[in-house]
Amino acid sequence: MKKLVDVLKKNSLQKTQEPKLTSRREFFKKTGTLSAIAATAISPLTLKGDDDAIIHHPEWGQVWGDPVTKNLYGMPSKYEHNNTRRYTKLLASGNYRASIAVTPIHESEGIITPNGLFFNRTHGGVAHIDPKKYRLMIHGLVKKPIVLTLEQLKRYPKVTRIHFIECPANGGQEWRRPQYNSLQFAKGFMSCAQWTGVYIKTLLEDLGLKPEAKWMLAEGSDSSEMARTVPIEKVLDDAMLVWGQNGEALRPEQGYPVRLLLPGWEGNLCVKWLKRLEFASEPWYAKEETSKYTVLKPDGKAIQHFYANEVNSTVVSPSPEKPWTDLKDGEIVEIEGLAWSGMGTITRVDLSFDGGRNYVEANLKGLVLPKCWTRWSYIHKYKKGERLLLTSRAMDDAGYIQPTIDEEVGMIGVEGVYHRNAVETWEVTENGEVNHVQIRS
């Protein structure tokens, strides 16, 4: 049995390609319980020779399999049919074209969201654009205004980056009390993908930005004609026009053929089905929508949020959808989660078993990249009958740390709608069920 524990250890330690490595020794420091549990057994599988699944030749090995030609664009196994985006009436405001479908974060592996599971928010339904008819107009305060075809746009030198997109309303229902006993619905207004496109600063080297330009308007060509205004500093920093999503063309839901990507900033600014960029000296406020989401305080003043999504984290496993009801006493289990910050790179994640009173440091796994989902874990020995309050708390290299909900409400003076990044808590009951709870003082 020691072997299985070793495998578990090794998997936790598997970190390839990342720029920021935590040392092996550091890892063991953070998961100090490991040495103590190394001798403990993981519940063994049935190996008595009475397991049908082992002694009989399985039915799928007795017949020819499907020809590959049956599914030229591959689909997940039919047994994975529950792993889908989900929606509710509540999120659709009575209109499924102007709706939101959330990502099954509890099923996510690593830090990439598959294209078919990427969360989707549309104000006017999903547009289907013929790439041959696609045009992008770039004008205003540039020396060389231009209209580009998709082919022409793709001729600029391109880059590939991994970034999350998060709607600032993610967790917005959870300010007062937990609304959804579900990770997917409480935190699924976000996804993370590998994007390919061109930095707008690269385009502007060709088009020549005039010095008076301080703002960029981006406008979509879908029925909502969503438009957003972006300060020039962000445009010249890391704003991208993207057409590639996880190694293929953007999905229609993500704005095929081209969308704006503002790494780390509010998802609503990442205009899809992009048709126009205009540079100007003053900001616009397009239609009824302002460029920043705000919340009214009781004194009638509006709270101005940051554009960036603040440092955040969640425990992914266990979660309401991934309970510990099957775990046996003394079993070794890997608690896993995600952390992300729109302001930089995750530097540390802490995990609490008592709702945030005491914390231990978790282990950052795999790639640790700026403005990107970061996976973290902690090896735990499960004690049957024990009630836990699992809370994670992340920090970023911009110097931010997740607040408690009391601290966050205290800071902005109201229970808000957008930009909730207070810590979340899962209650693990004596039976291993997992509930979404909120710890208030």
Ligand X SMILES: Nc1nc2c(c(=O)[nH]1)N[C@H]1C(S)=C(S)[C@@H](COP(=O)(O)O)O[C@H]1N2
Residue numbers at the binding site for ligand X (CB under 6 A): 118-123, 165, 167, 220, 222, 224, 226, 253-254, 267-268, 270-273
How would you classify the pairing of strands 274-280 and 135-140? parallel
From residue 157 to residue 196, what is the string marking binding to Mo ion with x (rule CB under 5 A)? ----------x-----------------------------
b/e sequence 415-434, b meaning 16+ C-beta within 10 Å? ebbbbbbbbbbbbbeeebeb
- Between residues 239 and 368, which has the closer beta carbon with respect to Mo ion? 239
Among the listed residues 122, 268, 391, 404, the single contact to Mo ion using CB under 5 A:
268
Residue 182 contact among Mo ion, ligand X, none, beta carbon within 5 to 8 Å by kind: none
Shortest distance, position 168 Cβ to Mo ion, whole Å? 6
Are 353 and 318 within 8 A, CB to CB?
no
- Between residues 1 and 90, which has the closer beta carbon with respect to ligand X? 90
Residue 396 contact among ligand X, Mo ion, none, beta carbon within 5 to 8 Å by kind: none
Tokens of 21: 């490595």
From residue 339 to residue 378, what is the string marking binding to Mo ion with x (rule CB under 5 A)? ----------------------------------------
- Between residues 194 and 435, which has the closer beta carbon with respect to ligand X? 194
Residue 271 contact among ligand X, Mo ion, none, beta carbon within 5 to 8 Å by kind: ligand X
Sign of the C-alpha dihedral, residues 388, 320, 380, 355? negative
d(CA 419, CA 261): 18
Among the listed residues 30, 121, 163, 276, the single contact to Mo ion using CB under 5 A:
121
Residue 292 amino acid letter: K
d(CA 321, CA 184): 8
- Between residues 168 and 323, which has the closer beta carbon with respect to Mo ion? 168
Shortest distance, position 366 Cβ to ligand X, whole Å? 23
Residue 184 contact among Mo ion, ligand X, none, beta carbon within 5 to 8 Å by kind: none
| Nearest residue to ligand X, scored by beta-carbon proximity | 220
Tokens of 57: 């030749």
Q: Please give the C-alpha separations between residue 192 and each of 77, 102, 339, in angstroms, as whole numbers.
A: 22, 13, 11
d(CA 36, CA 255): 51
- Between residues 252 and 330, which has the closer beta carbon with respect to ligand X? 252
Are 241 and 195 within 8 A, CB to CB?
no
d(CA 96, CA 90): 10
